[in-house]
Amino acid sequence: MTAKQLQSLVRQHGTPLVVVDHNVLRRNYALFRKHLPRVQAYYAVKANADPAIARTLYDAGASFDVASLPEFMLVCDLIRHLPVKDQQDFIWDKVIYANPTKPQETLVALDQYRPLVTYDNLNEIKKIKRYAPHAGVVLRLRVPNTGSMVELSSKFGCDPGEAVDLILEAFRLGLVVEGLSFHVGSQCTNFENFVQALNMAAAVMNEARSRGHALKLLDIGGGFPAPYNRHVKPFSLLAARINAEIDRLFPPETQILAEPGRFLVATAATSIARIIGKAVRDGKTCYFIDDSVYHTFSGIIFDHCQYPLQALKKGKTGICAVFGQTCDGLDVISQSEELPELEIDDLVYAEKIGAYSNASSTWFNGFPPAKVVHVNQ
């Protein structure tokens, strides 16, 4: 967005502010579908669960990956206008509950919808059988997460060596294993992770087939990197690697799905904050803004992400520190930001802040989350 547009929005809505551009959402979704034509895109709602974002992606044709009952119900709200049978068909065809560990109360609530749910251990199979026997199940594998910004394999996924036994046990209990899933870690810039994971999944599916169970679905998870900086390779290069392995390893009748979250929403949002304090410490200028790591910039803590700040004011730049508005010493936006000389009430902004940011915002210190404004809906 232009500086003039940002200033106009601040005059209307104040700060702190998050601006979501729905044209960017639609472009990102189209880009994903263009480069991975065989892959059905299930938006990872956890990346940003704003209902307006979900609505735009639904209208664009997206499916949905949910990881909690509230996220599942958010998707259900999108389809309430459909006839009951069409709602059920949508849930079966276009929703996956991809959190491998679920409270029994959640499973009870999900059972009536007959969704796809993931699992990665024997106890979870037994729990699903007892509380959601009508669900279809997908086994999650543990795969390499080397070089990903957020590593997930230590928490989720079964060892490939025990995968077939877990598949057989699910069938023995009367459940239907529809396929496999994996996740290479969030913001994965090591493309080899995808190659290794696809080959591991193919080996498990081949062994399962030899044991009498042909699986028909593969969920290749998320991890598709957002272009935060010039060091992130173009998505087209990753897609070419994935396409080549999918076509080599899996027959055309295998349904391939993925869970892009960050890739779809990161570049669609810009945050705007106001300078509320200024000090000099040890010769370095320090600015305080009316946002924080407990609010829009929560991705600094929870997501290991950095969001370079820019100023609407022009001028010679210098190295400075930027802190959030809360009383916590952890509330550091950056110790080394390059900004012009700023004064109280000047505005700064951060681009590409749509994923895992205001989604994990809190009310710490009594400060409310930033207002969210949607443009180009």
Active site residues: 327
Using CA atoms, how far residue 364 sits from 27, 276, 331, 369, in Å, is: 34, 18, 11, 9
Per DSSP, the three-state class of 198 is helix
| Tally of CB atoms within 10 A around 81 | 8
Residues 6+ apart with CB under 8 A from 79: 58, 86, 87, 90, 91
Give whole-number Cα distances, 289 to 16, 251, 345, 369, in Å.
9, 54, 9, 13
Nearest by Cα to 66 from 102, 32, 39: 102
Residue tagged 């010679």 (tokens): 316
Place of tokens 């990102």: 28
**Residue found under tokens 């679920």:** 102
